[in-house]
A and B are shown apart, each in its own frame.
Chain A
């Protein structure tokens, strides 16, 4: 089986989503905030923009909009008298001014530094005193804050979250030590992780000048210079109700939430125009251009091989093609029955593990990724070659009905498993709404998977692999002089 402790892909998350403090366990996640395809400016799917109900049924989310423009999504789950309360801002690392990278994430940290009503550091302490847990996270396209807490404490966290939406107070006394904290976070996630350094360099090649080509946490030399004024400017421009959505999952209905949302968030005045995201175009490697990043690191003994292909985001591709890309990734390198595992690990013995994934969760572009670790003492050329053979075979012969069924069964099952937990559901809806995907699409996702045909998968494969404009990464030991 795929061993859970394998240092497989959790490193790949290092440069993507960041939290205000560290969670203890890390699950393997084929997630990199990598690249994809330039998409013309897309209309963002905002909560409430689609007048149709998300769906019918007791578990279907409900959406509405407050008078000040703030969207609201309610996801009922009445198993326990608790709720997950989240506020999402439609701004992230991709919206930073050049020279001030890392600002979105830095501000996320600073949002815990107090307002006129809540002293520095008291936000989290108050949540904890009330039996709740809180955190926040930043990605390229969004920044979000959340608390999980007993249902009867919902008004408390709503009032505090609404208060810091426009009431943040910052001074150097609080800001400068926190900047050092963020630099420590950067050391931990990037500088201490050779694979993260490789991934950063590969992203830069894949996305060119588009902000997805740099780390969410920012460029160290720029983060070190971020100021209180920088943070406040960013805050005043982007933190406003018309650039935010509220998501509450748990033991609550839309009818119960609406008056609370109006009371706490509806009373916050807009203070900036609604933000329309415009980023520089993604500059993919040109067709047939095969970029290669080779990184030697004295801390590394065992080599790692990575490859990124340009791919559309889910918003750019639409749900049908995105579902086909998910199925393709599952068939090619999703698990032990996948083609790459069977060929490289079982048959040819040129790798000890191999995986593929489709990443479509950012707004402007996605990527299709491959990852292989050679067996002990092995080289990177053999797995790279074998991957090429398997991809060519898939393009030539297509896939079998059995493979298609198995992949779809597994993807639908994992979607069902994921719906077991309310905060992951809330996250899924929130990140979708922030990246141009509708709540309806999330709700109906298993149907999109079920509808994928062998022809769809083959078409998706041609779209990804035909141009062969890739970025390949090699992490190797230090070169011997």
Chain B
């Protein structure tokens, strides 16, 4: 029942990454195994659950030419048989421990997400180690997962959010590997072989491109040897293709895919900042005010709160290894797409020209610093943070330094970065639906009365920024 109820909660509210208090309570230890494998560990004994997250540089953008979808197909197959165990035997052994392992990829990384009850630790880690070091890729399993992914690809092509995203990446990145669909195409998927999968494993699942985060009731002395047992058989070096750097063209462009949806899905974006850019933290604070901060954001205020044009409108930064994006999303009825986009463009310009007010800056800082502990309230979330800090090379003391970096951001920093990111109309927009692109609503459609200006603090109100 716990699981049933929780699934419904997650579905309703997945939004919230909360929690816990790192700071003084949380100690991150760098554990290096006798064999030289490094992991970051938070020893946490409150719940009997060990979580391990692993990432390898080398995601879907590293798929060889013509083999789009290879990393994704591999992600479905690491728990489908390994060593002496065929798929069914492996799955039954895993299920008997209660452990859960999952694999996934994004453009830059291949990732494993693993959790086990503490008292089943050794059996569960042994199965995980077998999965990543000796996958079988038996024909039955490969064909079955290939068929499963084929239906996913076909269904994606019915999904307005997926179509809009594909359209956006195509418009922004053209033929760059980042524009390819991570799942591959039906054609590329059909051509992938067991030999390709073994090559993927050899090339990507290595030790020099791997980061490991572990959280739960386990000591450094216990973890060290376990790391060698689990990962020791991986090759020392990865072999990854060189991926060119890529930028979003500064020229505005709108692509529309007409489909009979009553609500248009709109994705918009332009060039962003990489995580290592000195302006990234100011950009992060700026984005909170623009569209990252839910009800506290300007986009939400203008598009939803004042005019009721959307349930959901937001913006976010998406830094990647070889590119970076400043993105946003909107869902609005077809009639009000043009009007909503015009309001959004106005807000982007206002931010580029005027930055933010003292009050907006102060409010953003108290939220962003005060809510940081909410990202550490479960073993699973702590592991996710530890892994992210490692892959972005932010340093093992990042958790202690992070809030001071936010505090140090000034209004001038924001104005500078807003100009850098948002000046000029270079927005690339991808729309799926049957949008009315005019700023005027069609005859007969009316907006409900806008609230008059009230006496409340006007974070989002026009003219509030100086």
Residues of A within 8 A of B306 (CB): 177
A81 to B101, alpha carbons, bound, how many Å? 30
A122 to B454, alpha carbons, bound, how many Å? 11
Asked whether B13 lies within 8 Å of A81 as measured between CB atoms, the reply is no
Q: Which residue of A lies closest to B16 (CB)?
A: A133
A80 to B47, alpha carbons, bound, how many Å? 13
Residues of A within 8 A of B456 (CB): 119-122
Asked whether B98 lies within 8 Å of A135 as measured between CB atoms, the reply is no
Mark interface residues in B142-178 (1 if CB within 8 Å of A CB, else 0). Answer: 0011011111101111111000000000000000000
- Looking at A198-206, A298-306, A459-467, the stretch in contact with chain B turns out to be A298-306
Residues of B within 8 A of A419 (CB): 2, 47
Asked whether B76 lies within 8 Å of A428 as measured between CB atoms, the reply is no
Residues of A within 8 A of B186 (CB): 376
- Which label, helix, strand, loop or mixed, suits the secondary structure of the B interface? mixed
Q: Which residue of A lies closest to B22 (CB)?
A: A80
- CB of A284 to closest CB in B, whole Å: 21
Most buried by B among A5, A406, A417: A417
B452 adjacent to chain A (CB < 8 Å) = yes
- Looking at B235-243, B291-299, B407-415, the stretch in contact with chain A turns out to be B291-299
A115 adjacent to chain B (CB < 8 Å) = no
Asked whether A352 lies within 8 Å of B148 as measured between CB atoms, the reply is yes
CB under 8 Å from chain A, chain B span 1-17: 1-16
Mark interface residues in B85-126 (1 if CB within 8 Å of A CB, else 0). Answer: 000100110011111111110000000000101000000000
Q: Which residue of A lies closest to B293 (CB)?
A: A128
A406 to B301, alpha carbons, bound, how many Å? 50
Asked whether A13 lies within 8 Å of B104 as measured between CB atoms, the reply is no
Number of A residues near B (Cβ < 8 Å) is 120
Asked whether B4 lies within 8 Å of A26 as measured between CB atoms, the reply is no
Residues of B within 8 A of A6 (CB): 148, 152
Identify A1's interface contact among B10, B80, B92, CB under 8 A. B80
Asked whether B309 lies within 8 Å of A184 as measured between CB atoms, the reply is yes
Residues of B within 8 A of A361 (CB): 1, 4-5, 8
Residues of B within 8 A of A231 (CB): none
Asked whether A410 lies within 8 Å of B7 as measured between CB atoms, the reply is no
A454 to B376, alpha carbons, bound, how many Å? 40
Residues of B within 8 A of A412 (CB): 98
A28 to B6, alpha carbons, bound, how many Å? 11
- Looking at A17-25, A63-71, A157-165, A253-261, the stretch in contact with chain B turns out to be A17-25
CB under 8 Å from chain A, chain B span 355-398: 363, 366-367, 369-374, 376-381
18 more CB-based (< 8 A) A-B contacts, given A133-B16, A185-B311, A422-B18: A10-B11, A21-B311, A22-B311, A23-B16, A28-B7, A82-B20, A121-B301, A137-B12, A148-B18, A149-B370, A180-B447, A184-B309, A349-B144, A376-B154, A418-B3, A420-B378, A422-B378, A432-B1
A-B contact pairs, 13 of them (CB 8 A): A1-B79, A6-B152, A13-B12, A21-B312, A23-B13, A79-B44, A128-B293, A148-B19, A298-B260, A349-B147, A410-B95, A413-B99, A431-B8
Asked whether B15 lies within 8 Å of A82 as measured between CB atoms, the reply is no
- CB of B449 to closest CB in A, whole Å: 6
Residues of A within 8 A of B8 (CB): 13, 16-17, 29, 31, 139, 361, 431
A442 adjacent to chain B (CB < 8 Å) = yes
A1 to B76, alpha carbons, bound, how many Å? 5
Mark interface residues in A338-359 (1 if CB within 8 Å of B CB, else 0). Answer: 0000100110010011000111
A188 to B457, alpha carbons, bound, how many Å? 31
Asked whether A29 lies within 8 Å of B16 as measured between CB atoms, the reply is no
Residues of A within 8 A of B260 (CB): 298-299
A342 to B262, alpha carbons, bound, how many Å? 39
- CB of B91 to closest CB in A, whole Å: 5
Asked whether B263 lies within 8 Å of A188 as measured between CB atoms, the reply is yes
Residues of A within 8 A of B265 (CB): 192
A67 to B328, alpha carbons, bound, how many Å? 49
- CB of B443 to closest CB in A, whole Å: 18
Asked whether A405 lies within 8 Å of B4 as measured between CB atoms, the reply is no
- CB of B54 to closest CB in A, whole Å: 16
Asked whether B16 lies within 8 Å of A80 as measured between CB atoms, the reply is no
Mark interface residues in A299-316 (1 if CB within 8 Å of B CB, else 0). Answer: 111100000000000100
A394 adjacent to chain B (CB < 8 Å) = no
Residues of A within 8 A of B92 (CB): 337, 406
Asked whether A326 lies within 8 Å of B1 as measured between CB atoms, the reply is yes
Asked whether A418 lies within 8 Å of B6 as measured between CB atoms, the reply is yes
Mark interface residues in A153-195 (1 if CB within 8 Å of B CB, else 0). Answer: 0000000000000000000111011111111110110011010
**A428 and B263 in contact (CB under 8 A), knowing A1-B79, A21-B312?**
no
A251 to B265, alpha carbons, bound, how many Å? 41
A48 adjacent to chain B (CB < 8 Å) = no
- CB of A77 to closest CB in B, whole Å: 7
Asked whether A80 lies within 8 Å of B154 as measured between CB atoms, the reply is no
Residues of B within 8 A of A424 (CB): 6, 9-10
B450 adjacent to chain A (CB < 8 Å) = yes
- CB of A141 to closest CB in B, whole Å: 12
B331 adjacent to chain A (CB < 8 Å) = yes
Residues of A within 8 A of B457 (CB): 122, 125
B455 adjacent to chain A (CB < 8 Å) = yes
A164 to B280, alpha carbons, bound, how many Å? 39
Residues of A within 8 A of B451 (CB): 120, 173-174, 177
**A413 and B363 in contact (CB under 8 A), knowing A120-B454, A423-B18?**
no
Asked whether B151 lies within 8 Å of A422 as measured between CB atoms, the reply is no
Q: Which residue of B lies closest to A448 (CB)?
A: B1
A222 adjacent to chain B (CB < 8 Å) = no
Asked whether B95 lies within 8 Å of A409 as measured between CB atoms, the reply is yes
Asked whether B140 lies within 8 Å of A82 as measured between CB atoms, the reply is no
A30 adjacent to chain B (CB < 8 Å) = yes
A132 adjacent to chain B (CB < 8 Å) = yes
Asked whether A128 lies within 8 Å of B13 as measured between CB atoms, the reply is no
Residues of A within 8 A of B2 (CB): 414-415, 418-419, 428, 442, 445
Asked whether A27 lies within 8 Å of B10 as measured between CB atoms, the reply is yes
- CB of B49 to closest CB in A, whole Å: 6
Residues of B within 8 A of A405 (CB): 96
B459 adjacent to chain A (CB < 8 Å) = yes
Asked whether B311 lies within 8 Å of A82 as measured between CB atoms, the reply is no
A51 to B285, alpha carbons, bound, how many Å? 50
A453 adjacent to chain B (CB < 8 Å) = no
A31 to B8, alpha carbons, bound, how many Å? 6
Asked whether A417 lies within 8 Å of B311 as measured between CB atoms, the reply is no
Ranked nearest first, the 8 interchain pairs of A and B with the lowest CB-CB distance are A131-B370, A23-B15, A80-B20, A413-B98, A180-B308, A80-B21, A177-B308, A176-B448
Most buried by B among A80, A414, A428: A80
A43 adjacent to chain B (CB < 8 Å) = no
Residues of B within 8 A of A244 (CB): none
A147 to B225, alpha carbons, bound, how many Å? 42
B48 adjacent to chain A (CB < 8 Å) = yes
Residues of B within 8 A of A337 (CB): 88, 91-92, 95
- CB of A28 to closest CB in B, whole Å: 8
Asked whether A1 lies within 8 Å of B103 as measured between CB atoms, the reply is yes
Asked whether B312 lies within 8 Å of A179 as measured between CB atoms, the reply is no
Residues of B within 8 A of A1 (CB): 76-80, 101-103, 145
Asked whether A406 lies within 8 Å of B307 as measured between CB atoms, the reply is no
